[in-house]
Amino acid sequence: MVKLVYAHDGISSYDELFLKSLKDKYEIYVLTFHPSPNCVPKGVKIVKMRDFIPETSLHPFEGMRKHLLTPLRAQTLKKSLENVKPDVLIGCWASTYGFYSAYSNFHPFILFVWGSDVLVFPKKYFLLKPFIVYSLRRADVVVVDSEIQRQAAINLGCDPLKIVKFPWINLSGFKRNEAQRRKIRREYGWSDGDIVVISLRYHRPIYGVEYLIDAIPRVLAKNKNVKFLILGEGPLTATFKTKMIHFAKSGHVRFLGAVPHSKVADYLSAADIYVSTSFSDGTSASLLEAMACSLAPVVTEIPGNAEWIEDEVNGLLVPVADSEKLADKILLLATDKEYRARLQANANITTKKRVNWARNIEKFSEIVEETLAIYKSSKYAIS
């Protein structure tokens, strides 16, 4: 069996998705600096590498800590690879584990680009750009989930011929569940006639959830039958809850915090409208999950969303950072049942036509095998 190393924290639903899909085909080792890689499924071996400064819960300092440790982490990962002796290396995030993997000079090396590492970091953190460029150039294959990521990688010097693009999403468990819809609405005291708006994004500046929070009073001033489910958490959660304290008491807004991914489909089933206010995205998994559950999307007009949403056909696009326009679109869908139903149906059809995880993971496995065959013939390994 081919031995595969997957280098990442192991705390993301994307980690779980790939590892679950690949673990029966490969002997997988997760190499991680995270103390609690809780999204690594059973049957996958975990190698916890030593970090030299403990993790901090203070968001800005955690990023700084990771990048200050880059030289030590890169050396540590290289040593771990020498011990594990894999056949194939997957490194995630071009600025962290992807760079550590590139530095190891191990081949074949497959780089998973996650979004902000090519869309945001090269512009916002100029000191990281050389590390990202190095990772993209050293990788044998670069995997992205959207056209905007593909173009960003090319603009950073990546050879377009080695880029593979497909959506990172398995929608097999995502469809509207009427029983869960009724159960959750009863639990919160909401009627079948209420219009429920749901947000799934982390409460961090890049996701712009504050613009949904600011839109809520505008919506409720005109339509008291609209209710809001706010999932996720982050450094801005306390601020959001303080702003919404009146509407939370009245039962119009519910903050649910971090919800296990296995429960997300239930909450989507309870909703009618999905909102994403993000400033930057590739192919958003939560958007596609909402569409598969027949929600009408109202999302920001950014390239990652525009790749999936045709305005006024299978969703609505709104300007970034515009609470007023967002409120108007929510009110439009809340009041026009026929229009909302048409967008919901078209959103569902879009995912059925364009998303096939079984086919995509099979395609990825073929790429792994082909890349490995090339390097086995040349016997290229750690130097």
CATH number at residue 251: 3.40.50.2000
Predicted pLDDT at 91: 99
Domain membership of residue 233 (yes or no) is yes
CA distance 98 to 111: 6
CA dihedral angle for residue 148, residue 149, residue 153, residue 156, rounded to 10 degrees: 60
| 264 in any annotated domain | yes
Q: Is residue 59 part of a domain?
A: yes
- Closest CA relative to residue 57, chosen from 257, 316, 234: 234
CA distance 150 to 234: 28
pLDDT at residue 282 tops 70? yes
Is pLDDT above 60 for 140?
yes
In this prediction, residue 61 carries a pLDDT of: 64
Q: Is there a single domain that holds both residue 194 and residue 265?
A: yes
Please answer whether residues 41 and 11 qualify as being in contact, where contact means their C-beta atoms are separated by less than 8 angstroms. Answer: no
Residue 55 is predicted with a pLDDT of 74
Tell whether 371 is covered by a domain. Answer: yes
- The reported pLDDT for the residue numbered 382 is 46
Residue 53 has what pLDDT? 78
Are 317 and 363 within one domain?
A: no
Task: List the single range of 59-63, 182-186, 271-275 with lowest mean pLDDT.
Answer: 59-63
Q: Three-state DSSP class for 198?
A: strand
Give the mean pLDDT of 199-215. 98
CA 107 to centroid of chain Cα atoms: 27
| pLDDT class of 383 with cuts at 50, 70, 90 | very low
**CB-facing half-sphere around the CA of 215: CA atoms within 13 A:** 27
How does residue 57 score in pLDDT terms, banded at 50, 70 and 90? low
Query: Do 211 and 321 sit in the same domain of this protein?
Result: yes
Q: Mean pLDDT throughout 39-53?
A: 94
Q: Which of 278, 284, 290 is nearest to 318 (CA)?
A: 278
Structural domain harbouring 283: 178-354
> Are residue 143 and residue 231 in the same domain, yes or no?
no
Per-residue pLDDT band at 60 (split at 50, 70, 90): low
pLDDT of residue 39 exceeding 60, the answer is yes
43 occurs within a structural domain: yes
Tell me what the mean pLDDT of segment 35-56 comes to.
91
Domain assignment of residue 383, yes or no: no
Question: 254: which strand partners?
Answer: 229
Residue 74 lies in a domain: yes
Reported as a single tens digit per residue, the pLDDT across 333-357 is: 999 999 999 999 999 999 999 999 9
According to the model, what pLDDT value does residue 169 have?
96
Residues 110 and 254 in one domain: no
For a pLDDT cut of 90, what percent of the chain falls above it?
Answer: 92
* Residue recorded with tokens 């801005």: 236
Q: Under a CB-based contact definition with an 8 Å cutoff, are residues 285 and 355 in contact?
A: no
Side-chain half-sphere of 304: how many Cα atoms within 13 Å? 29
145 and 191 both lie in a single domain: no
Q: What is the pTM of this model?
A: 0.90
Best CA proximity match to 228, nearest among 281, 279, 188: 188
Average pLDDT over residues 174-197: 97
What mean pLDDT do residues 106-133 have? 96
User: Between vectors from CA 233 to CA 208 and to CA 295, what angle results, nearest 5°?
Assistant: 65
Domain membership of residue 60 (yes or no) is yes
Tell me the per-residue pLDDT of 287-322, one tens digit each, with 9 for 90 and over: 999 999 999 999 999 999 999 999 999 999 999 999
Judgement on whether residues 344 and 366 belong to the same structural domain of the protein:
no
Residue 147 has pLDDT above 50, yes or no: yes
- Phi and psi torsions of 227, nearest 5°: -125, 155
16 and 29 share one domain:
yes
Q: Based on the fold, state whether residues 211 and 163 are members of the same structural domain.
A: no
Claim to verify: residue 222 and residue 321 sit in the same structural domain? yes
162 and 28 share a domain? yes
> Does 202 lie in the same domain as 337?
yes
Higher pLDDT pick, 63 / 80? 80
Mean pLDDT computed over every residue of the chain? 95
Alpha-carbon gap, residue 44 to 365, rounded angstroms? 17
Query: Domain count of the chain?
Result: 2
Give the pLDDT band of residue 56 (cuts 50, 70, 90).
low
